[in-house]
Amino acid sequence: MHQYVWLIPLFPILGVLINGLLGHKLPKKVIGPIACIAVGLSAILSTLIFFEVKALPPESRILNDVISYTWMAAGNFYVDIGFLVDPLSLVMLLVVCWVSLLIHIYSIGYMHGDPGYARFFTELNLFVFFMLILVSANNFLMMFVGWEGVGLCSYLLIGFWYEKKSATDAGNKAFIVNRIGDFGFLLGIFGIFFFTGTLNFQEVFAKAPATFAYGGLEITLITLALFLGATGKSAQVPLYTWLPDAMEGPTPVSALIHAATMVTAGVYMVARMNVLFMMAPISLMIVGIIGAITAIYAATIGMTQFDIKRVLAYSTVSQLGYMFLACGVGAFSIGIFHLMTHAFFKALLFMGAGSVMHALAGELDMRKMGDLRKHMPHTYRTFLIGTLAIAGIPPLAGFFSKDEILYKAFSAESTIWEMGGVTLWAIGLTAALITAFYMFRAVFMTFYGKSRVDDHVAKHLHESPAVMTAPLWILAILSIIGGWVGIPWIESLNLFPQWLEPVMKGKAVVSQLTGGIPAHAVHHSLSFELMMALVSVIVAAIGIFIAYKLYVKNPELPERLTYGRFFPVYHLVLDKYRIDELYDRLFVKPTLWLSEKFMWKVVDDKIIDGTVNGIADLAKGWGSWTQRLQTGYVQNYALMIVIGVMLIFSFIIYLN
């Protein structure tokens, strides 16, 4: 079965061809189902392959070069169109396919009145195609193709409502900021090829221990360049600014691309390169620190936002920070675990927010919501489940993955920074408190309290159709049970990390390089681990309690607080620490200035135009002088011929 893995990306691209070429002629009843069937077939196929690989013994679960067609070859350099089927890519394939399928179904309801219906599904399918290429590639270059492709689709879909200037601006911003990261990724690929001479993942990982020195400069620089790529795509500090703006796109896009799939590509990439990252402890530490900073930084911004989608956007940035924190302490499989559970509950939350918008005629401001739980029972219940999951309340999915990240951070042993693990843990725990607070703030402001909905909108309040609520419920169930595949305290139920074990060779490689220190089995003191879990649950509960006090019991209190002593701090956070303005001053304005004053007025106007016009003027001047030879009198021409002939003859005679 696994040899048919190439069909998985093929189905969505067929959907693109059908809807893209014929979409304007097809009725809406056909367009949506075509897109859904395309993704659905991929989902079914990836599930079949999953079960086939699952039946194999763990050590033979890495199936490289499933289909290999030489894409390009030049001397020793060659790149294949090849697919890698292994536990990690299978997890990604399953998550991407199934979550995409649910979001496609939801979009049928959400986008039904939109004039760009066919275009929307075409671009959605195109995105799925590139994402599947990204996660199933067996070499760096093919992964890069997928990487750029999802960036392109992200740009197209953020700017889907292109009549709106803010939407096209946001699309540009996402694309340009991502380019900075892509540049780093590309440099990393160059570096890898320069030192190992190949781009195939398995070959690179096999050669890496012999090629690079442990902790050496080369590997550190390469992994940092790769991580720069990851910060761009996964919206980490300092390249996170594009993601909140990306909320200008339709809500299913936010759910699919900017929550569940594309933004996790960076985490996937770091986990895929775990061998390289483990060999560069400094890079690994930076990954962890950036992750922790992002987690808490974005969470604080999330506390102050009033736009429900922006709250979720900052929450996504923050949760991605958690995933990098996990990678940074060497717990790559836990990072992927959180990626999976986050895909479930964040897609759910975004689609819930979309459902609310749908009912409120596109209203996003939570100050104009309130008391919606009676009107939208399905949306309310599923949104609440998603919120409980992200807040880390057991036994929902987010609890297991987030708690495990915090535990791994606490028990991490770093040779470089002794207190590093504990520090990261403390930051992560604080971020967890804030997460619980702002997520429940969103729930309380939206679904509880007094209704602040505008009158004319309130009349049309309605629950969304079943085509939208059904995916919500499926994701809600996944958000509940999704974490049960990785219950850390019981060895036989801790399936998820065991499943990924064959891919995570980094630890073994490092222990081999550093002189046979056995990859230390983490001392599972069960009571200690349970206590840690209890701490994070208590912290989450405190966050929920504060939100309850502030937004249900005393709804006037937040306003009083923000206008009191905390006014300057509050406004700094409300304005997102004015980082966008800082970037504007530091990078955008100088670039524009340079472009206008130097590149346009000097280089383009003076040098390039000057050269071109100068050559033209020269030819013109020469022409206006030589045109005098053309008198129009035939006898003049004849005279010229005679003179010419005489000259030629005298020359010949002279030679003889």
Partner 1 sequence: MLPMSYYLVLSALIFGLGVLGVLIRRNALVIFMSIELMLNAVNLTFITLSRYLETLHGQIYVFFVMTVAAAEVAVGLAIIMLLYRNWGTANIDDINLMKW
Task: List the interface residues with partner 1, window 413-452 (CB under 8 A).
Answer: none
Count of residues that interact with partner 1, criterion CB under 8 A: 11
Nearer to partner 1, 74 or 629 (CB): 629
Q: Which stretch binds partner 1 (CB under 8 A): 425-433, 497-505, 565-573, 630-638?
A: 630-638
Residue 162 dihedral angles phi and psi, to the nearest 5°: -75, -5
Q: In this structure, how many other beta carbons lie within 10 angstroms of the beta carbon of residue 111?
A: 22
656 part of the interface to partner 1, by CB under 8 A: no
Residue choice 60, 76, 527, 630 for contact with partner 1 (CB under 8 A) = 630
Pairs from 237-242 (Cβ < 8 Å, separation ≥ 24): 237/290, 237/293, 237/294, 237/297, 237/321, 239/177, 239/178, 239/180, 239/181, 240/294, 240/298, 240/317, 241/173, 241/177, 241/579, 241/580, 241/583, 242/170, 242/173, 242/174, 242/177, 242/178
Least Å distance between CB 652 and partner 1?
17
Nearer to partner 1, 598 or 622 (CB): 622
Token pair recorded at residue 387: 């919120």
Which x/- pattern, by CB under 8 A, does the window 163-202 give for partner 1?
Answer: ----------------------------------------
Closest residue by Cα to residue 94 from 51, 144, 152, 150: 51
Task: List the interface residues with partner 1, window 590-629 (CB under 8 A).
Answer: 627
Least Å distance between CB 636 and partner 1?
9
Q: What is the residue type of 230?
A: A
Q: What is the residue type of 208?
A: A
Least Å distance between CB 176 and partner 1?
52
Q: In this structure, how many other beta carbons lie within 10 angstroms of the beta carbon of residue 412?
A: 23
Least Å distance between CB 21 and partner 1?
54
Residue the block writes with tokens 């200035």:
593
Give CA–CA dist 539/402, Å, rounded. 12
Nearer to partner 1, 612 or 638 (CB): 638
Nearer to partner 1, 1 or 638 (CB): 638
Nearer to partner 1, 545 or 622 (CB): 622
Least Å distance between CB 621 and partner 1?
15
Give CA–CA dist 297/7, Å, rounded. 41
Which x/- pattern, by CB under 8 A, does the window 547-586 give for partner 1?
Answer: ----------------------------------------
Give CA–CA dist 564/558, Å, rounded. 10
Residue choice 631, 648, 649, 650 for contact with partner 1 (CB under 8 A) = 631
Cis peptide bond N-terminal to 555, omega within 30: no
Residue 361 DSSP class: T
Which x/- pattern, by CB under 8 A, does the window 632-651 give for partner 1?
Answer: xxxx-xxx--x---------
Nearer to partner 1, 585 or 620 (CB): 620
Least Å distance between CB 624 and partner 1?
9
Nearer to partner 1, 527 or 630 (CB): 630
N-to-C CA span, the chain? 88
| Contact present, 446 and 356 (Cβ < 8 Å) | yes
Least Å distance between CB 637 and partner 1?
8
Least Å distance between CB 628 and partner 1?
8
| Contact present, 260 and 345 (Cβ < 8 Å) | no
Nearer to partner 1, 492 or 630 (CB): 630
Nearer to partner 1, 69 or 633 (CB): 633
Least Å distance between CB 625 and partner 1?
12
Nearer to partner 1, 525 or 631 (CB): 631
Nearer to partner 1, 527 or 635 (CB): 635
DSSP string, 61-117: --B--SS-EEEEEETTEEEEE-B-BSHHHHHHHHHHHHHHHHHHHHHHHHTTT-TTH
Token pair recorded at residue 239: 């390249």
Token pair recorded at residue 462: 């309605």
Least Å distance between CB 632 and partner 1?
3
Token pair recorded at residue 189: 């690929």
State the residues that interact with partner 1 by CB under 8 A: 627, 630-635, 637-639, 642
